A and B are shown apart, each in its own frame.
Chain A
């Protein structure tokens, strides 16, 4: 891991992207890491493209500028690939995790990735319908990001989902979210 791992999330309002960045930060903190999670605030509305960021570091961090050169990019909504340049500013060895039913090979061609960059695909929409009962791609995306990057352990993530969702949701909903994250962790595909 680089000294500071920078992650950029692309999603649409209402998909839980900001929550995903928050959960990842809290889980990484639970592993003793230093974290930041911050969304990019603009006109907030359902369905509008939005970005959120994470920084994870072993050492304490003082920088508070935007993330402009992420090493990890998580795309929570597949339709964004047609409207937003999700590769903008990414590092030469960046890792992309895309919510899509397309294969990593198809994605590489579509996104014109560098040979040194890696791409993973996961059908987070399909997984969330199967486990949660509706399209809620954020928890499966978290599972996929954890598998693709190794930034934290899956069990830490599951524990934090339980803790942060526990205040708001019933046990059934929490269990469905845990299944969603686990299933995506198992099913995320590299080339």
Chain B
């Protein structure tokens, strides 16, 4: 029987890992993801899981150990944040390039400098081109659910790619909320035993070489295969989300549409801020304003056709980014969504707000202001500014 509990996002993810019972977890904890590995190491010490916990001397080594363990044929998980993810950088590409379905829980935190421990998306957004599938979660429940679905997505034969499951540092990782934990057996049955679909290093009957040299002769073919695998991941995410819904009661897709079907104005926003924005959508609907919201769940691969279709009837759209792409034509989510809408015969007007960097709060009034601006934009047809910071001192 599923169990209703109150726990932090971190403890929820640690419990998902307990239920998945991976072969190997290599860890070098960093705030705010520390509690995941701390809790999980208790499960290891208490003999509740069979996992080999490899304690290493840096995040670079943590990802390296994950790569080795996964290449050897194990189911492998890990957690990190911010500078920890940044230090894994080189190895992220090696994990995806070798098509190793490692699961990484990324507890989103701002990158230094200035040093900051709070939540923004600069860490995972920076890793968006590293060939990892990226899932984002609004709350502890979604972070838990995404963690359980991640191995099924990454390990699928058509995909075989690593998966990064993201949630907001502190706002979710350290907040206690109501969540429902599945029964251990339900998770075990859903995940199934891990068996690599391809030969691994310890499969002595089928010797393979991993990470071989590809120069002008084969490198681009290998990247092309990654590209195709990433494209195929979209369908797998949908299928796994549906299957998960059948026994959990919570079905997941590529993104969540909140009162978007008939919306004139809409926000596109990731993670916990989407929850806050839903409260404002409800307020506006009571006032007769057709406001809606789109919360991306799958950011890599980015479901651009579906996003365009979902937003095509809006008059004005604001994309909210909790990360900047300095010098770019807007934040990373904005450039993605704006590009997705380019081929529509009639495009919504679009603006971009950078908000909440380093954990700066996004309050209800901040969201109301953005929607008020969208109402004006829809009426006037003219944006004062395409791209600007909000929740910031002038």
List the interface of chain A (C-beta within 8 A of B).
22, 25-26, 29, 34-39, 41, 60-66, 68
* Known contacts A62-B276, A62-B278, A64-B276: A34-B178 contact under CB 8 Å: yes
Q: CA of A54 to CA of B139 in the docked complex: distance in angstroms?
A: 16
Given contacts A29-B4, A29-B6, A41-B118, contact A63 B279 (CB under 8 A): yes
For the complex, is B315 an interface residue (Cβ under 8 Å from A)? no
Leading 6 A-B pairs by shortest Cβ distance = A62-B275, A38-B175, A64-B272, A37-B176, A29-B6, A66-B361
| A-B residue pairs in contact (CB < 8 Å), sample of 11 | A22-B176, A29-B4, A29-B178, A35-B177, A37-B176, A38-B174, A41-B170, A62-B138, A62-B275, A64-B171, A64-B273
In whole angstroms, how far apart are the Cα atoms of A34 and B171 in the complex? 17
A41 (CB) vs chain B CBs: closest residue: B170
Closest to A38 in B: B175
Q: Name, among A38, A60, A61, the residue most crowded by chain B CB atoms within 10 Å (CB to CB).
A: A38
Question: Complex: how many Å from CA A36 to CA B174?
Answer: 10
Minimal Cβ-Cβ distance residue in A for B168: A64
Contact pick for B276, options A36, A63, A68, CB 8 Å:
A63
| Contact status A68-B363, CB under 8 Å | yes
Q: Mark B291-314, 1 if CB is under 8 A from A, else 0.
A: 000000000000000000000000
Cα A6 to Cα B42 with chains together (Å): 33
- A2 shortest CB reach to chain B, Å: 14
Q: Name the A residues within 8 Å of B174 (CB-CB).
A: 38-39, 41
Q: Please, what's the 1-or-0 string for B264-289, where 1 marks a CB less than 8 Å from any CB in chain A?
A: 00000000110110110000000000
0/1 string, B333-347, CB within 8 A of A gives 1: 000000000000000
Q: What 1/0 flags go to B135-171 for Cβ under 8 Å of A?
A: 0001100000000000000000000000000001011
Q: Is B238 an interface residue (CB 8 A)?
A: no
User: Does B172 lie at the interface of the complex (its beta carbon under 8 Å from any beta carbon of A)?
Assistant: yes
Q: Are B176 and A38 in contact (CB under 8 A)?
A: yes
Interface residues of B (CB under 8 A from A): 4-6, 117-118, 138-139, 168, 170-172, 174-178, 272-273, 275-276, 278-279, 361-364
Instruction: Specify the chain B residue showing the minimal Cβ separation from A40.
Output: B170
Chain A residues with CB under 8 A of B139: 62, 64
Contact A66 B276 (CB under 8 A): no
Q: Is the CB of A64 within 8 A of B172?
A: yes
> How far apart sit A29 and B273, CA to CA, in the bound complex (Å)?
23
Q: Which residue of A lies closest to B170 (CB)?
A: A41
User: What CA separation (Å) do A108 and B66 show in the bound complex?
Assistant: 59
Q: Is the CB of A65 within 8 A of B362?
A: yes
Task: Looking at the assembled complex, report how far the CB atom of B362 sits from the nearest CB atom of chain A, in whole angstroms.
Answer: 6
Whether the pair B176, A64 counts as a contact (CB closer than 8 A) is no
In whole angstroms, how far apart are the Cα atoms of A66 and B175 in the complex? 11
**Please, how many angstroms separate the alpha-carbon atoms of A41 and B273 in the complex?**
18
Contact pick for A35, options B118, B176, B276, B363, CB 8 Å = B176
CB contact under 8 A between A36 and B363, given known A62-B138, A64-B272, A64-B273: no
Are B363 and A65 closer than 8 Å at their CB atoms? yes
Please give, as numbers and ranges, the residues of chain A lying within 8 Å of B362 by CB-CB distance: 65
Q: Out of A35, A63, A68, which one reaches B275, CB within 8 Å?
A: A63
Contacts of A62 in B (CB 8 A): 138-139, 275-276, 278-279
The residues of A that contact B6 with a CB separation of less than 8 Å are: 25-26, 29, 35, 37
Q: Are B177 and A36 in contact (CB under 8 A)?
A: yes
The residues of A that contact B275 with a CB separation of less than 8 Å are 61-64
Minimum distance in angstroms from B391 CB to a CB of chain A: 10
B7, closest chain A residue (CB)? A26
A172 to chain B, nearest CB (A): 25
CA distance A34 to B175 in the complex (A): 13
Across-interface contacts of B5 in A (CB, < 8 A): 29
List 11 additional A-B contacts (Cβ < 8 Å) besides A41-B170, A61-B275, A62-B278.
A25-B6, A29-B4, A29-B6, A29-B178, A34-B178, A35-B178, A38-B176, A41-B174, A63-B278, A64-B171, A64-B172
> B170 contacts which chain A residues (CB < 8 A)?
38, 41
A29 to B3, alpha carbons, bound, how many Å? Answer: 12
- Closest Cβ of chain A to B125, distance in Å, is 19
| Contact between B363 and A64, CB atoms less than 8 A apart | no
Known A29-B4, A41-B117; contact A66-B363, beta-carbon cutoff 8 A: yes
Kindly state the separation between the CA atoms of A60 and B4 in the bound complex, as whole angstroms: 13
The complex places the Cα of A68 from the Cα of B363 at a distance, in Å, of: 9
Q: Identify the closest chain A residue to B271 (Cβ).
A: A64
Complex CA distance for A41 and B117, rounded to whole angstroms: 9
Whether A25 and B363, one on each chain, are in contact in the complex, defined by CB atoms closer than 8 angstroms, is no
How far is A66 from B170 in the complex, measured between Cα atoms in Å? 11
> Cβ of B178: which chain A residues have Cβ within 8 Å of it?
29, 34-35, 60
CB proximity of A53 to chain B, nearest CB, Å: 9
Interchain CA distance A41-B361 in the complex, whole Å? 13
Tell me the smallest distance from the CB of A189 to a CB of chain B, in Å: 30
Please tell me if the beta carbons of B364 and A63 are within 8 angstroms of each other in the complex.
Answer: yes
A26 to B175, CA, bound (A): 12
**Taking CB as reference atom, which chain A residue is nearest B273?**
A64
A65's partner among B172, B176, B364 (CB-CB below 8 A) is B364
- Distance (Å) between the CB of B281 and the closest chain A CB? 10
Chain A neighbourhood of B175, CB < 8 A: 36-38, 64
In the complex, the chain B residue whose C-beta lies closest to that of A26 is: B6
Docked CA distance A63–B361 (Å): 12
Distance to closest chain B CB from A41 (angstroms): 6
